[in-house]
């Protein structure tokens, strides 16, 4: 009965909000077969930056693809943050699984930590996209995930609305780390959706290193 109701609800929703492919606009599908064959999705090559090249607290900065509003991946990521959360997260999980190098590149990772949202922002949005990505990663690379040790203690302005200088200032002292015993000596993989200026990830890395992490690298879907 429940299943029948869900099918009916899905059918009615499809009538009111029909799907169009997020890339090409083909009807009745969220992401069509042809568009799924694109290299960025089917065989992402990845972007790798070593922290010492850019004077960073992060040992490695790893992303699936580059990010700007013109690349196809941006539509999927924007849907994931602001639109069709369920459909987009299913595709993001497939995208991550399509990444053959993932296991090798982050082989030394002991613990996955998603970049936290402040609890007020979490309540407004209802989910943290970094936690969703981290959950997928944990299943794919078989590493534990820690949602509790890193906390965003200060409610900051949305980074997307600020320039580089202000982004850096905005996140200073925004994070605290508890459960020191879980962090000391660990190789940590910080996970977020997009690396833009890196200000948020850098600040998280500093706090984790100060707590005793051995090293911290970052993984994001895209690199701005
Ligand atoms: Zn398409």
Judge if 216 and 128 occupy the same domain.
yes
CA of 220 to the centre of ligand 1 (A): 24
Q: How far apart are CA 41 and CA 33, in angstroms?
A: 11
- Our measurement of the distance from residue 213's CA atom to the centroid of its chain's CA atoms, rounded to an integer in Å, reads 21
In tens, the pLDDT along 151-177 reads: 998 887 777 677 777 777 788 888 999
Sign of CA dihedral 164, 167, 173, 175: negative
Q: How far apart are CA 88 and CA 30, in angstroms?
A: 8
Q: How confident is the model at residue 13 (pLDDT cuts 50, 70, 90)?
A: low
Judge if 73 and 144 occupy the same domain.
yes
CA of 139 to the centre of ligand 1 (A): 28
Judge if 109 and 146 occupy the same domain.
yes
CA of 85 to the centre of ligand 1 (A): 18
Q: How far apart are CA 133 and CA 149, in angstroms?
A: 17
Judge if 106 and 165 occupy the same domain.
yes
Judge if 31 and 48 occupy the same domain.
no
Judge if 118 and 28 occupy the same domain.
no
pLDDT of residue 9: 72
CA of 29 to the centre of ligand 1 (A): 8
Q: Which domain holds residue 21?
A: 1-37
The encoded tokens of residue 221 equal 């879907």
Judge if 156 and 70 occupy the same domain.
yes
**Residue 187: CATH number of its domain:** 3.40.50
Judge if 51 and 12 occupy the same domain.
no
Judge if 71 and 28 occupy the same domain.
no
CA of 62 to the centre of ligand 1 (A): 27
Q: How far apart are CA 24 and CA 179, in angstroms?
A: 47
Distant-in-sequence, close-in-space partners of 93: CB < 8 Å, separation ≥ 6: 136
Judge if 112 and 145 occupy the same domain.
yes
The DSSP code for 186 is: -
Q: How far apart are CA 220 and CA 191, in angstroms?
A: 6
In tens, the pLDDT along 174-190 reads: 899 999 999 999 999 99
Judge if 150 and 179 occupy the same domain.
yes
Judge if 22 and 53 occupy the same domain.
no
Q: How far apart are CA 75 and CA 69, in angstroms?
A: 8
Give how many domains the chain has, as a whole number.
2
pLDDT of residue 71: 72
């Amino acid at each position: 009965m429940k299943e029948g109701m869900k099918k009916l609800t899905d059918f009615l929703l499809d009538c009111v909000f029909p799907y169009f492919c997020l890339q090409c606009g083909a009807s009745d599908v969220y992401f069509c077969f042809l568009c799924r064959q694109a290299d960025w999705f089917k065989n992402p090559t990845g972007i790798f930056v070593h922290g010492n090249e850019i004077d960073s607290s992060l040992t490695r900065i790893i992303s699936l693809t580059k990010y700007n509003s013109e690349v196809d991946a941006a539509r999927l990521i924007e849907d994931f943050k602001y639109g069709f959360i369920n459909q987009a997260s299913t595709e993001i999980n497939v995208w991550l699984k399509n990444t053959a190098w993932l296991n090798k590149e982050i082989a030394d990772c002991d613990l996955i930590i998603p970049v936290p949202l402040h609890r007020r922002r979490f309540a407004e949005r209802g989910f943290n996209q970094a936690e969703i990505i981290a959950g997928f990663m944990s299943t794919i690379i078989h590493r534990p995930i820690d949602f509790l040790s890193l906390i965003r203690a200060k409610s900051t302005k949305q980074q997307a609305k600020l320039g580089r200088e202000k982004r850096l200032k905005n996140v200073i002292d925004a994070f605290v780390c508890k459960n020191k015993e879980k962090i000391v000596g660990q190789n940590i993989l910080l996970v977020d959706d997009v690396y833009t200026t890196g200000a948020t990830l850098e600040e998280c890395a500093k706090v984790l290193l100060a707590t005793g992490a051995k090293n911290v690298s970052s993984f994001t879907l895209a690199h701005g």
